[in-house]
Amino acid sequence: KTPIERYRNIGISAHIDAGKTTTTERILFYTGVNHKIGEVHDGAATMDWMEQEQERGITITSAATTCFWKGMAGQFDQHRINIIDTPGHVDFTIEVERSMRVLDGACMVYCAVGGVQPQSETVWRQANKYKVPRLAFVNKMDRAGANFFKVYDQMRSRLKANPVPLQVPIGAEDKFEGVVDLIKMKAIFWDEASQGMKFDYRDIPADLKADCDKWRSNMVEAAAEANEDLMNKYLEEGELSESDILLGLRTRTIASEIVPMMCGSAFKNKGVQAMLDKVVELMPAPTDIPPTRAEDEDGKEMFLKASDDEKFSALAFKIMTDPFVGQLIFFRVYSGVVNAGDTVYNPLKGKKERIGRIVQMHANTREPIDEVRAGDIAAAVGLKDATTGDTLCAVNEEIILERMIFPEPVIHVAVEPKTKADQEKMGIALNRLAQEDPSFRVKTDEETNQTIISGMGELHLEILVDRMKREFGVEANVGAPQVAYREAYKKTVEIEGKFVKQSGGKGQYGHVWLKMEPNEAGKGFEFVDAIKGGTVPREFIPAVEKGLRETIPSGVLAGFPVVDAKVTLFDGSYHDVDSNENAFKMAASIAFKDGMRKADPVLLEPMMAVEVETPEDYMGDVMGDLSSRRGMIQGMDDSASGKIIRAEVPLAEMFGYSTVVRSLSQGRASYSMEFKHYSEAPRNVADAIMNKK
């Protein structure tokens, strides 16, 4: 058994074309899992195992893969590395968030030509949020325009990171030969014939000596700042031993104070092997990270250590439908041990479940295992109720790990099956997909009876419709995308609501006074009970809140959900015989609708942060076009291929933008966008939307 100190749970994350999948492939090859390297451009990469990814050449689902590593020169005891492959496309940021939650460290792959791109910044922010230690691998050093130190500068300026190069490249572009290891102060050359399995150390080329000395002292200084002992040693001797350098770098990497930087060309089999060594030497084991915060059944805070002797707790972080075994639930064990056949408890659902089998994935093959110990990642077969973000724990020991927060979808489309017979099959398919992906929602529109699916962007929904066809055999027609508008109000009002029917027999009587205030943006709906002296009896107050919650999904302007409302029930009256829950529910609903009309209601639309990277020749056209889409230009940056334009644009104006931006720039510009916030729609836009309803 591998002791827990030799586990590494790492994510590999990158911008779309930085070569992440190729890098992962090489890792699987060198760790002996794959005997023939799968190349992305012939669609055979092991990690991208859903058909669609193979066609599009982008990574969508994060598969967790287990592999073993003893070091480039066999210098370590065997380490067990769990790799969580994370998607690089902005529509899939939910996947990235989800994998960040279960990682202990991340390896950021950057393209030596493209450098730090917009998506890299999004991923960086997510890694900051979960305080994930990182190392950087600058890939594609063999490509025209490759520049290692340019990426170093961009990491400092764009990511505000503190990168520390551990290597200096020998040559670049088609002259890229190998790297200088600044810890050993030796040049490493990998052997092409054995696909990089063999390598040798040589002396540093004379023309690089001065550069290497400069970057070495930069690295040693960074290591010395880890603690006083190392600092004193360094000040006295002006140097540190190899083991001290590694200790210092490891301490500071795990504390997220520095980002060790390496380089190579995965495609040319150079550099990935050395990066794996640094994953072992510098990335944290599950025992190196602070204990995980959790709550017990009374909501009291507790901390879980990564130890086999603690109570069992695990987090389900991904659901996948597997053609052979049905539903696989990927989970990470934070404490204790679980065995195949155990019954576990899911506190968020309040259900007990038996784990049938446990498997570990090696890219696309699976190996059945009997137990999963603290710190490890595996997939369970046979859990019916668990969904992404659920905690699993021992039956009589309730533990809830922190819940994940998932973004609200910003785009809707109506879907209908091409043949009526597929209606039921489509329902099953959509529910299965929604279970796997919390940022994807399915609902039926009550007025039109259409099935509406919502997600994080056009590509996101396109891929889900595509999966429905491939995996479930349902072909669907997709309507035009619709924007998820919201409604809010700006003034504070006090308003009365009365629901009275007394015409003989049992009547209805509900009467409330509400104070309606706008809530802080993003706070959502808040209900405050401020009844004094029983003017509305206790038992009817939940009915008032229920009436409000049932009214909120449909506002008064155009029937969109109302957000950020704070409503206080402060007075009312009741009738001994005729008052009941329904009457108070109705009274609250009437009051809210009435109040909203008087409180200066407004329509809110989703605003997207858009980044367009374009050669300078097309910059004017691109900016002009963004302005014509009611976009606000926020700023500009230089990039490898010209300029990056940052703007905030309403989602409603961005449909079909990919075709437009391609034709404006003769196919040379690329863009990414993500949801930023809701803001008030201008009068003319709001009127047009209300007239459509």
Per the CB < 8 A criterion, the answer to whether 585 and 543 are in contact is yes
Residue 468 structure tokens: 């429905």
Per the CB < 8 A criterion, the answer to whether 510 and 541 are in contact is no
For the chain, give the mean pLDDT: 84
How far is residue 412's CA from residue 158's CA, in Å, rounded to a whole number?
33
Per the CB < 8 A criterion, the answer to whether 137 and 152 are in contact is no
What percent of the chain lies above the pLDDT cut of 90?
33
User: Under 8 Å CB-to-CB from 405, ≥6 apart: which residues?
Assistant: none
Per the CB < 8 A criterion, the answer to whether 260 and 164 are in contact is yes
How far is residue 297's CA from residue 293's CA, in Å, rounded to a whole number?
14
Q: Check residue 592 and give its pLDDT.
A: 96
Map out the domains of the chain with their CATH numbers. Answer: 4-174+259-288 (3.40.50.300), 292-401 (2.40.30.10), 411-483 (3.30.70.870), 487-599 (3.30.230.10), 604-692 (3.30.70.240)
Q: What is the pLDDT of residues 125-161, one digit of tens each?
A: 778 878 899 999 998 888 888 899 999 998 998 788 8
Q: What angle do CA 237, 243, 245 make, to 5 degrees?
A: 60
Q: What letters, b where the CB count within 10 A reaches 16 and e where it falls short, cover 586-607?
A: bbbbbbbbbbbeebebbbbbbb
In which residue are the tokens 């950057």 written?
110
Residue 68 structure tokens: 């073993």
Q: Check residue 61 and give its pLDDT.
A: 44
DSSP class per residue in 25-58? HHHHHHTTS-SSPPPGGGT--SS--SHHHHHHT-
Q: What is the pLDDT of residues 76-111, one digit of tens each?
A: 888 888 888 666 555 556 666 777 778 899 999 898
Per the CB < 8 A criterion, the answer to whether 391 and 315 are in contact is yes
Residue 418 structure tokens: 């091409």
391: confidence class by pLDDT, cuts 50, 70, 90:
confident
Residue 636: what residue type? M
DSSP class per residue in 341-399? T-EEEETTTTEEEE--EEEEEETTEEEEESEEETT-EEEEE--SS--TT-EEE-TTS-E
Q: Check residue 523 and give its pLDDT.
A: 82
How far is residue 37's CA from residue 574's CA, in Å, rounded to a whole number?
76
Query: Which of 522, 642, 512, 622 is closest to 570 using CA atoms?
Result: 512
Q: Check residue 89 and give its pLDDT.
A: 58
Q: Is the pLDDT of residue 272 over 90?
A: no
Q: Check residue 38 and give its pLDDT.
A: 45
For 187-196, 198-207, 502-511, which range has the lowest pLDDT when averaged over its residues? 187-196
- Helix then strand then coil, in percent of the chain rounded to 5, is 30, 35, 35
In which residue are the tokens 């090489």 written?
26
Would you call 466 exposed, middle or buried from its count of C-beta atoms within 10 A (0-12, 13-18, 19+)? middle
Total-model pTM: 0.66
Q: Where are the alpha helices (DSSP H) in 203-306?
A: 209-224, 228-237, 242-254, 272-282
Residue 80 structure tokens: 């067990």
How far is residue 464's CA from residue 154's CA, in Å, rounded to a whole number?
35
3-state per-residue secondary structure call for 171-229: CCHHHCCEEEECCCCEEEEECCCCCCCCEEEECCCHHHHHHHHHHHHHHHHHHHCCCHH
How far is residue 313's CA from residue 302's CA, in Å, rounded to a whole number?
12
